[in-house]
Amino acid sequence: VQLQASGGGLVQPGGSLRLSCAASGNIFGINAAGWYRQAPGKERELVAGISVSGRTNYADSVKGRFTISRDNAKNTVYLQMNSLKPEDTAVYFCNAVIQVEIFRNRVFWGQGTLVTVSS
């Protein structure tokens, strides 16, 4: 089972990016999932989370700008980031609780994807 994050890059302030986090392998599906980020010299922080029912929560710093969503058919979670600011620069990681067996879940981390917001 793998969790693959993608979509990072360099963007100007005010721009947008969409991150994707896809689970692959022999799985039943993704339960809860979240996006975290870690800026240089700072601790990793939760940016956005989504429950198995689709309920979402966001860090105050990204509310109104970021949107987390999921496509259960594709076992993929997205993070749409709009109105990006230089302080959003960080390595972004996805995290997911994946149902690997009928009665067993496991937590996986994707590799980080770098988002740089700079003019």
Of 14, 17, 3, 9, residue with least CA distance to 113: 9
The tokens of 35 are what?
A: 């996006």
What is the spatial distance between Cα 74 and Cα 24, in angstroms, rounded to a whole number? 9
Note the pLDDT of residue 27: 87
The amino acid that residue 51 corresponds to is S
Across the chain, which has 119 residues, the per-10-residue mean pLDDT values are 94 98 91 96 97 95 97 96 98 94 92 96
Residue 77: the pLDDT is 97
pLDDT at residue 69, as a whole number = 97
Per-residue pLDDT, 1:
87
Provide the terminal-to-terminal Cα distance of the chain, rounded to the nearest Å.
Answer: 38
CA 93 to chain centre: 6
pLDDT value for 26? 87
Q: What is the pLDDT of residues 16-33, one digit of tens each?
A: 999 999 998 888 889 999
At 30, list the tokens.
Answer: 């993704």
